[in-house]
Amino acid sequence: MFRVFGYVRVSTENQLENYSIDEQIERIKGYCTAKGWELLKIYTDGGFSGGNMDRPALSQMLLDITAGGVDAIVVYKLDRLSRSQKDTLTLIEDKFLPNGVDFISINENFDTSTPFGRAMIGILSVFAQLEKDQITERFTMGRIGRGKAGYYHGGPTPPTGYDYKDGLLVVNEYEAAIVREIFSLFLAGKSINSIVSHCRSRYPLKWSAAKVAHILRNSVYIGKVKYAGVEYDGIHEPIISVDDYEKALQLFSSAQRENRKTTSQKTPFRAGYLLSSLVFCARCGARYSANHGYYRCYSRAKSSKRFIVDPNCKNDNWEIGTLDNYILSQIRTLLDQEEALQAVISRSVPAEESSPVHKEKIQKRISEIDLQMGHIIDLYQIGSIPMEEIAKRAKALEAERKSLQSQLEHKPIPSVQRFLDSLDAFRQGFSGSDMDTKRMYVASIIEGIYIDGNTVSIKWRV
């Protein structure tokens, strides 16, 4: 008698297609009875995707095939075996046929015991692969569409400060207050470790340095969502202001290093010095460490092998007090001399932004925006576009117009304004602050200090 194994599979999406487990089993049993075949066993994979072969029942069936005693595998439909063209052909040509086992699909009405059936397997497996690819594409496009629409894609576990309800992020006021406190402490100069200790002593949540660092860098708190590396405006309520978030990003690199242990073997910078994490070797690119009264290039000091860039580097050491005083004098020069400040700012602003040609282009674009605003008003009056769409277009045009107008009026660009604000904060608060806060003030103004022998170059955050 012709002996066969049955194989059935279903996933959530297939339940909607009437390919339920019971239905498939019933069809296979009826088919074998009509053919007079002996159905030895039915292998069932419930809730497994057909996109791969990592399925327990399928794996067991393949083992049983090698033991012999079976003539064919019967499925209700080809894609029950696999939705992958490669996997389908691999199973039939490398697993079934070499063991003398044919493959039969009831729905497509063919089997591999005939030449035509073998040809049809290849053709239909192409369409199974196409269907799988189309499902994947629709899923991906749907996710991208949700991202563009502002919906969060982080799954059922929301970021601290939010609850996830009905597919939306909703502010959890208790946790949101903690998030705001974390940003406030960080911007006040506190290290990540000290913030972790503070939170552990006050709030019954799990806290770690990684969790605090993630909160400080997560743009979801300013109303953003991300999908596939692209950031979109979210529809959820922000917890942190954009200004505070950007300041935290500026300070994060130095604060992150202060969070490490302070031994010279395990940190590129010993905490407790004014210029921690800011000084670099202009010759080999290594950092400068602060110890024994000097800032020293790691490559030359060789105090930690993993921070050595060029073991032959001979760049100069700088006495800590000398370099600290020099950098502070450069900052105070910007505070006291308008010409020096404008020179720094001008180097950060592209020359074309102040050229007559550039201003003419700006004015032309403003005129175009005014015309477009007039057209939008006309469309509103005749009712040809929904109010939501009109409001969206008008808001975008108005934002662009304000930005262009500010350029004509010589208003500082955002990065310049943040730099000026940081200088003003330094002027008001540096002198009476502790070392943590002083480092914060300096790091908010300076991105890097580069040593080349007796020459010191400063990269300002503007």
Catalytic residues: 11
**Owner of token pair 């007079």:** 36
* Beta strands 288-291; 279-281: pairing state: unpaired
Given a contact cutoff of 8 angstroms between Cβ atoms, the answer to whether 296 and 287 are in contact is: no
**Owner of token pair 């806290």:** 207
Rounded Cα distance between 106 and 23, Å, is: 13
Return the bridge partners of 451, or none.
Answer: 281, 456
Given a contact cutoff of 8 angstroms between Cβ atoms, the answer to whether 413 and 245 are in contact is: no
Q: At 335, is the secondary structure helix, strand, or coil?
A: helix
* Beta strands 3-10; 72-75: pairing state: parallel
Cα distances (angstroms) measured from residue 131 to each of 85, 136, 209: 10, 9, 45
**Owner of token pair 């239909």:** 124
Given a contact cutoff of 8 angstroms between Cβ atoms, the answer to whether 250 and 460 are in contact is: no
Query: Among positive and negative, which fits the CA dihedral 415, 420, 421, 426?
Result: positive
- The string of DSSP letters for 197-237 reads HHHHHH-SS---HHHHHHHHH-GGGGTEEEETTEEEE-SSP
